[in-house]
Amino acid sequence: MNEIGKLLLSTAIAFTFITCSDSMNAQEMNGDLQDQLELLKKNHVYLRHRLDRIEKAIDDLIWFEKLGEIAYVDKVYMTGPPLRHEKNPTAQGAGNPVKFWSYVFIPKGIDTNRNHPLIVFPHGGVHSSFTTYYTHIVRELMAQHYIVVAPEYRGSTGYGRSFYEKIDYGGLEVEDVNSSRDFMIDNYEFVDEKRVGIIGWSHGGLIALLNIFDHPDDYQVAFAGVPVSDLIARMGYKTQSYRDLYSAEYHIGKTAYEDVEEYRRRSPAWNAHKLQTPLLIHTNTNDEDVNVLEVEHLIKSLKAEGKEFEYEIYQDVPGGHSFDRMDTRKAKEIRLKIYKFLDRYLDPPKKLKSIRDLEEAAYR
């Protein structure tokens, strides 16, 4: 079935379950085919965002179900910088900070009279969100008595079309994530501002890197897993439909061909000279999403700048892009390496010293 066929089918199903009579009536359907297709596309977008909201609400309930016994799970509302570009800069509310949600996870039973290290954990994916895909990793962090904040920065899915189209890839979304770090320090007295780490995979790895590049004094350590590292190279090896995401009017708004410097500015590999923070990088040669050549470029750039950091290029580990986020023994062994690296700089109250410790964390 071609794309138009899929679109027509999904929209027809939507009409069965969602009341669209306000936006579509018999008179409109009597217009020419092009008008009908445009209307179908609009309703398809409307439905997609409505379903994303429902999926996000369900996932929020699952978070409480999966972690409620071991952690206080909250979702807090905060602000980041204003939009980079306002459609109407003189309109009421123009220039106001962007509001967004963040998940907060606090281990039960911790001594709040002591300061505890904070992990800032931006999710991966273009227009993705912090889902229960990360449950096992958050459980492992709770076992170590880390406080965790996971920001749903601008452009995340599940909060409607308007928020979705606020995306500023490699731009102000980075500042949203840093704002979540500041929020935790300002609002939780038992968070130690001198023991803050940031971790992320894929696009979350890009955000982690750009945060330590732009705010080196705010983080004591960082981990970047399979990080998107070079948007210019990425535009070269990805499909046209993927490139179209970035050149959309509400996104970067231009192709790499039209503004290569803008893509360079948003790429960690081209900002390697800024590194001051202890950093660990992991990548995998069979990654089906972030081609290893991107991360190799980042690694070579950091070396060329004389930066001290640690990295490992894994060879064809099963799981590809998700190789160290899975539930396999190999993935657990790799995550244990990550935690031991973080330990050096954050000194969590409880450390995972072995695979058995890590496995037990999953069942506490």
Q: Of 116, 198, 114, 104, nearest to 148 (Cα)?
A: 104
The fraction of the chain above a pLDDT of 70, given in percent, is: 88
Q: Which of 128-151 are b and which e, b meaning 16 or more Cβ less than 10 Å from the residue's Cβ?
A: bbbbbebebbbbbbbbbbbbbbbb
Residue 195 CA to residue 191 CA, distance in Å, equals 8
For the chain, how big is the Rg over CA atoms in Å? 22
Q: What is the pLDDT of residue 39?
A: 63
Q: What is the pLDDT of residue 30?
A: 53
Q: What is the pLDDT of residue 1?
A: 40
Residue 47 CA to residue 11 CA, distance in Å, equals 8
Q: What is the DSSP string of 75-144?
A: EEEEEEEEPSS-SSTTSTTTTPEEEEEEEEEEETT--TTS-EEEEE----STT----GGGHHHHHHHHHT
Among 242-256, 282-296, 330-344, which stretch is predicted with the lowest mean pLDDT?
242-256
Q: Is residue 253 part of a domain?
A: no
When pLDDT is averaged across residues 286-307 and rounded to a whole number, the result is 98
Query: Is the model more confident about 83 or about 18?
Result: 83
What predicted TM-score, i.e. pTM, was given to this entire model?
0.88
Query: Is the model more confident about 26 or about 224?
Result: 224
Is there a single domain that holds both residue 41 and residue 121? no
Three-state secondary-structure class, residue 299: helix
Is there a single domain that holds both residue 34 and residue 103? no
When pLDDT is averaged across residues 216-228 and rounded to a whole number, the result is 98
The number of folded domains in the chain is 2
The fraction of the chain above a pLDDT of 90, given in percent, is: 79
Is there a single domain that holds both residue 156 and residue 273? yes
Is there a single domain that holds both residue 105 and residue 11? no
Structure tokens at 159: 């909060």
Q: Report whether pLDDT(137) > 90.
A: yes
Q: Is residue 250 part of a domain?
A: no
**Where residue 18 falls among pLDDT bands split at 50, 70, 90?**
very low
Are 334 and 318 within 8 A, CB to CB?
no
Q: Report whether pLDDT(14) > 50.
A: no
Range of the domain at 3: 1-16+24-61
Query: Looking at residue 125, which CATH number applies to its domain?
Result: 3.40.50.1820
Condensed to tens digits (0 to 9), the pLDDT of residues 157-201 reads 999 999 999 999 999 999 999 999 999 999 999 999 999 999 999
Residue 14 CA to residue 9 CA, distance in Å, equals 9
Q: Is residue 343 part of a domain?
A: yes
The 3-state DSSP composition of the chain as helix, strand, coil percent (nearest 5) reads: 45, 15, 35
Condensed to tens digits (0 to 9), the pLDDT of residues 223-247 reads 999 999 999 999 999 999 999 999 9
Q: What is the pLDDT of residue 4?
A: 41
Q: Report whether pLDDT(26) > 50.
A: no
